[in-house]
Amino acid sequence: MGRFDGRVALVTGAGEGIGLEIVRQLVREGAQVLLNDLDGDRASGAAAEIRASGGDCRSFAGDAGDVAVVRIMVAVAVEAWGRLDLAVANAGLTLYGNFFDYEPAALERVLNLNLRGSFFLAQAAACQMRDQGEGGRILLMSSVTGLQAVHHLEAYGMSKAALRMLARGLVHDLSPHGITINSIAPGAILTPRNLQDDPDFENSWGNEIPVQRVGSVEEIAAAALFLLSPEASYITGQTLVVDGGWSVTSPLPGQISYRNQGDPT
Ligand SMILES: NC(=O)c1ccc[n+]([C@@H]2O[C@H](COP(=O)([O-])OP(=O)(O)OC[C@H]3O[C@@H](n4cnc5c(N)ncnc54)[C@H](O)[C@@H]3O)[C@@H](O)[C@H]2O)c1
């Protein structure tokens, strides 16, 4: 028996990276999953790969920042499997930029997918779960950049901080229906996109992190599956930070100096 036998899930932005690994692990543990990606070929290729290994997965190509698309996505999952139990608003856009030159269009793109898309996916999924009357799980994808300032990620970080608050805010509406809402704040995670942006990603980011390495998509997916699982039934409104200790530290200027340390004897 898998933890998610008979459960129907939907994951946005899941053609590669963190979302794809969440889908893989959900399917491995018995869920039926609708895998969304903006890139149709990527979505269908990923879903085909999962079906080839024996899982029940269908693809859905579309923009997770488009409210009409998000609503159709929920309807398609329900049409395919008769219900929806788990929704993961994973799709997010990272647009680096100097604050002094940041364009309104760039800000709008970031907010549109990261906030508008996540908000309305949560709403559409929650309406379906409420009508089913058997509870559910909604998971948002925040980031440590919503907790600490990362230079040139101000717009992105602002959107990720807002997702943390969205998870808190929705407990009033969702709890009476047995629906939990949480978010995950990943640190620096090794994904195809990060490697493309910075081929030396593992070294350049890993060195700044207390555990001395970047995180893996498997580590984020494992945290996601816990929050989506029956075991997390009393956890709601929370953000689980999965970052190797990065966000609890403060960088020091150069080497730590012990010159003022007294002799303990
Ligand atoms: N990778 C990291 O280090 C990291 C760290 C913190 C938070 N996050 C967050 O985790 C989530 C997943 O990150 P990732 O790095 O795996 O993602 P990613 O940037 O690699 O994108 C994953 C997939 O999302 C798809 N996508 C892009 N725009 C979309 C849209 N409008 N609608 C549907 N699909 C779309 C892409 O085609 C891609 O296949 C994001 O919300 C991201 O902000 C990632």
What distance separates the 2 farthest-apart alpha carbons in the chain?
A: 73
- The helix, strand and coil proportions of the chain, stated in percent and rounded to the nearest 5, come to 50, 15, 35
pLDDT at 165 over 70: yes
Q: What spacing in Å lies between the alpha carbon of 262 and ligand 1's midpoint?
A: 49
Q: One of 102, 156, 234, 258 is an active-site residue; which one? A: 156
Q: Annotate 61-81 with b (16+ C-beta within 10 A) or e (fewer).
A: bbbbbbbebbbebbebbbebb
Q: What Rg do the C-alpha atoms of the chain give, in angstroms?
A: 19
Domains and CATH numbers, the chain: 8-243 (3.40.50.720)
Share of the chain above pLDDT 70, in %: 95
User: Which residue has the least CA distance to atom 31 on ligand 1?
Assistant: 63
pLDDT grade for 207, boundaries at 50, 70 and 90: confident
Q: One of 96, 160, 234, 258 is an active-site residue; which one? A: 160
Residues paired with residue 182 on neighbouring β-strands, in sequence order: 139
Say what the pLDDT of residue 264 is.
Answer: 55
pTM above 0.85, yes or no: yes
Ligand 1 pocket by C-beta < 6 Å: which residues?
12-13, 15-19, 36-39, 42, 63-65, 90-94, 113, 141, 143, 186, 188-189, 191, 193-194
Question: If 0-12 CB within 10 Å is exposed, 13-18 middle and 19+ buried, where does residue 177 land?
Answer: middle
Per-chain mean pLDDT for the chain: 95
Active site residue 102: no
* Each residue's pLDDT tens digit, 218-233: 999 999 999 999 999 9
Say what the pLDDT of residue 167 is.
Answer: 98
Say what the pLDDT of residue 261 is.
Answer: 54
User: Nearest-CA neighbor of 219 among 21, 9, 11?
Assistant: 21
